[in-house]
């Protein structure tokens, strides 16, 4: 019995060591993805208003006396950008805030549970536009035939990440274990990828934050997902060495797999909030 327990503890310790090795691996690559779709849910009991193709997305409450809540949807095509079998080690969501209410608002990033459609409606204002076929609305995943189970969207109750958003700048939702788990799940099972919904500032009026969408019209302004990952061959190599299964280089041969995501332009703009991530140098 003691031998069995000892082996179990040793295996658990080795697995933890392998995970730590992957998380700290200097071999990690970085991919920057632009949003594949984004939209704003406009509060309406009938789903009459939407904003799927507008240049901005909204989160919070507008100054309207009723139906003032706004929630943003955003999704990225992770499986098309990264090699299958990669191990995600860090994830950051970047959003650029256009001039709007300057008061700080905490916004949560919640994983969406069902599929939704971006839709063609377009508006640059918080009131949205008349819903069109295919729009995501407050009650529809696709106007006007498919619906959310609950008005305002179907999503996990616990936020995968939180960020306090104030003045106009580039803001980041920094990496958390939940964000990493979300993106890893989307890579491993692409059909489960429905993106995130952004919710915050719903306790008071006139809190709405306005972010540039992927249709903003200028390169690099829309939502961006920065992913650090270990390609599959190197992940197997690092894990195997951490577990003592084989020596470096005995399993991982040939050229490293590269991300299929196009490189995004580097931008260091005035007012960048909270952090700056320096680009990694390629290994020789």
**Domain assignment present for 76:** yes
Tokens representing 25? 């691996």
> What pLDDT is stored for residue 273 in this prediction?
47
β partners of residue 93? 173, 225
Kind plus residue range of the DSSP H or E element containing 33: strand 29-34
Structural domain of 91: 20-242
Radius of gyration of the chain (CA): 21
How many whole angstroms separate alpha carbon 126 and alpha carbon 81? 32
**Domain assignment present for 163:** yes
Report the pLDDT averaged over residues 15-23: 51
β partners of residue 229? 29, 88
For residue 102, how far is the Cα from the chain centroid?
A: 24
The total domain count for the chain is 1
Report the pLDDT averaged over residues 85-96: 97
Tell me the pLDDT band of 5, cut-offs 50, 70 and 90: very low
| Tens-place pLDDT, residues 190-221 | 999 999 999 999 999 999 999 999 999 877 78
**Domain assignment present for 4:** no
> What pLDDT is stored for residue 213 in this prediction?
97
> What pLDDT is stored for residue 230 in this prediction?
95
| Tens-place pLDDT, residues 55-80 | 999 999 999 999 999 999 999 999 99
> What pLDDT is stored for residue 275 in this prediction?
43
Instruction: Supply φ then ψ for residue 24, to 5 degrees.
Output: -105, 10
If one compares 3 and 235, the residue with the highest pLDDT of the two is 235
Torsion sign, CA atoms 56, 59, 60, 64: positive
**Domain assignment present for 190:** yes
**Domain assignment present for 267:** no
**Domain assignment present for 273:** no
Q: Is the pLDDT of residue 237 over 80?
A: no
> What pLDDT is stored for residue 32 in this prediction?
97
**Domain assignment present for 81:** yes
- The chain-wide mean pLDDT, for the chain, equals 83
Tokens representing 152? 């305002």
């Amino acid at each position: 019995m003691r031998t069995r327990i000892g082996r179990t503890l040793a295996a658990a310790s080795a697995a933890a060591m392998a995970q730590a090795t992957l998380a700290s691996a200097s071999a990690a690559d970085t991919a920057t993805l632009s949003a594949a779709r984004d939209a704003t849910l406009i509060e309406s009991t009938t789903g009459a208003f939407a904003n799927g193709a507008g240049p901005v997305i909204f989160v919070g409450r507008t100054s309207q006396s009723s139906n003032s809540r706004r929630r943003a949807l955003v999704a990225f095509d992770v499986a098309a950008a990264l090699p299958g079998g990669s191990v995600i080690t860090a994830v950051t969501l970047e959003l650029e805030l256009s001039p709007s209410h300057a008061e700080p608002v905490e916004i949560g990033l919640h994983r969406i549970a069902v599929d939704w459609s971006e839709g063609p409606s377009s508006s640059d204002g918080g009131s949205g536009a008349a819903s069109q076929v295919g729009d995501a609305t407050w009650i529809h995943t696709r106007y006007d035939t498919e619906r959310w189970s609950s008005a305002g969207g179907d999503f996990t109750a616990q936020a995968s990440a939180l960020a306090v958003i104030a003045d106009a700048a580039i803001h980041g939702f920094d990496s958390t274990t939940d964000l990493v788990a979300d993106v890893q799940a989307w890579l491993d099972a692409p059909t489960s990828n429905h993106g995130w919904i952004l919710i915050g500032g719903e306790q008071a009026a006139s809190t709405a934050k306005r972010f540039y969408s992927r249709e903003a019209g200028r390169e690099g302004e829309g939502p961006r997902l920065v992913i650090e990952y270990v390609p599959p061959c190197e992940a197997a190599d690092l894990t195997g060495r951490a577990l003592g299964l084989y020596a470096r280089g005995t399993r991982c041969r040939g050229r490293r797999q590269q991300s299929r995501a196009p490189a995004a332009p580097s931008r260091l703009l005035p007012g960048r909030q909270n952090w700056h991530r320096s680009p990694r140098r390629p290994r020789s």
